[in-house]
Amino acid sequence: MTAGSPSSQPQPQPPLKQKMALGLKSLLKFATGEDQHSSAPGMTELFPATDPAVDGDDCTHDCESCHVSYPRGFKVESADLLYGHVKGWSTHVIVATGKSDWVRDVEDEKGSVMEAFGDAAKPSNGRLMLSASNMPTPSHTSDYSEPTTAIVLPAFTIIENITPTAVPHLISSYINHAPTTKSSLEPLTLPRSLPLPSLPTEQHLLARPCPHRALILLCSHKTRDARCGQSAPILRKELERHLRPLGLFRDLDDERPGGVGVYFINHVGGHKYSANMMVYRRPDAFGVDTIERAKLAPGEEVQIKKAETRKTGEEANGEGEGEGEGDVGAAQCIWLARVRPEDCENIVKYTVLQGKVVKPQSQLRGGFDRAKGLMSW
């Protein structure tokens, strides 16, 4: 899809049904005193769109080698305007459950960490988005009585030894002090251990950098919508097909430095725009953000930055694995929708590797860029 100048193109208008819904939402915000003065940046101001003159002709067509498709009858809403209508968030917590489907509202999963988050006091630094995920638990079971792990974003930090009773302490001692989607890109200054009163050392909460350079989150919540349960496994296989030859695919238990983790999460809203995909990226995650593919010689491929192996344990003076000193967490989250299998090649090539959006008008829902200080809400 060719990116044009925003000023030279007429701005698309929402269909009547969506326009009425947005009008009602605006009235509700006014009635509840929510901020009416914030203005979202244009979609190409937030994330650059691909342009054949810069990115090559490949960005103008879908994958030709894709031979998989969604089931017959898989239909989604295609008329609504997507950009700028997601609810903003400050922190995103992704909880390992070892499952890919949950009850309708994950905070109703009895005895779970998600239920504890629902019952706990809200963070002081803004809205927390809570997701259950298929990340394996330490015990490799779905038993909520066992401690689990979670990823905190945009800090890009893994928290270990989480139990429901530890959640209030996790919020007050860690999440309240962690960077948010509005924070500038500065090195993290967060503790690596969070002692819990009256518990032995081995049961303390532990924090370490996530080893990945990017995360792809796919909604698989079939209890909420069958299309999510159908699309997520298909997209994951197609993403793996394009990431693995680059040496970037990371399976659920694969914690080699670098690469891309692909996880299933519960409902994020907008299942009528299935498939929803969220891409979290570290700053210039693979060292190719500024590469102009159109200028490469025929057959020449971009040179992806190799992950550095960091010192661990005592050698790193408590830094742990992953980014270590100077880690700033995620710089971006790019939220896409209406994603189909044939989109995956270009999503890997341009969105995951370079932070660009191939089909902004029809697929971009929103996100943030901490380096630019911009959010879609």
Q: What is the pLDDT of residues 245-299, one digit of tens each?
A: 999 999 988 999 999 999 999 999 999 999 999 999 999 999 999 999 999 999 8
Q: How far is CA 263 from the centre of its chain?
A: 9
Q: What is the mean pLDDT of each run of 10 residues along the chain (377 residues)?
A: 48 65 61 63 96 95 92 94 96 98 98 98 98 96 96 98 96 97 96 84 90 98 96 98 97 93 96 96 98 94 78 40 74 98 98 98 98 97
CB count within 10 Å of CB 230 equals 18
**Cβ 206 vs Cβ 252: under 8 Å:** no
* Of 205, 153, 165, nearest in space to 327 by CA: 153
In this structure, the chain runs to a length of 377
C-alpha radius of gyration, the chain, whole number: 20
Cα angle vertex 288, ends 287, 289, to 5°?
105
pTM of the entire structure? 0.89
Q: Which residues of 75-100 are buried (b: 16+ CB within 10 A; e: fewer)?
A: ebbeebbbbbbbebbbbbbbbbbbbb
**Cβ 373 vs Cβ 184: under 8 Å:** yes
- pLDDT by residue (tens digit) across 49-99? 999 999 999 999 999 899 999 999 999 999 999 999 999 999 999 999 999
**Cβ 40 vs Cβ 377: under 8 Å:** yes
Q: Which residues pair with 332 in a beta bridge?
A: 281, 369
Helix, strand, coil percent values for the chain (each to nearest 5): 30, 15, 55
Helix (H) or strand (E) holding 340: none
Give CA separation, 357 vs 46, 215, 234, 272, 321, in Å. Answer: 10, 16, 21, 21, 30
pLDDT, position 220? 97
**Cβ 326 vs Cβ 187: under 8 Å:** yes
* Of 376, 328, 377, 334, nearest in space to 355 by CA: 334
Residue 318 CB partners (closer than 8 Å, separation 6+) = 192
pLDDT, position 317? 40
pLDDT, position 30? 60
Question: Dihedral (C-alpha) 94, 97, 102, 108: value to the nearest 10 degrees?
Answer: -80
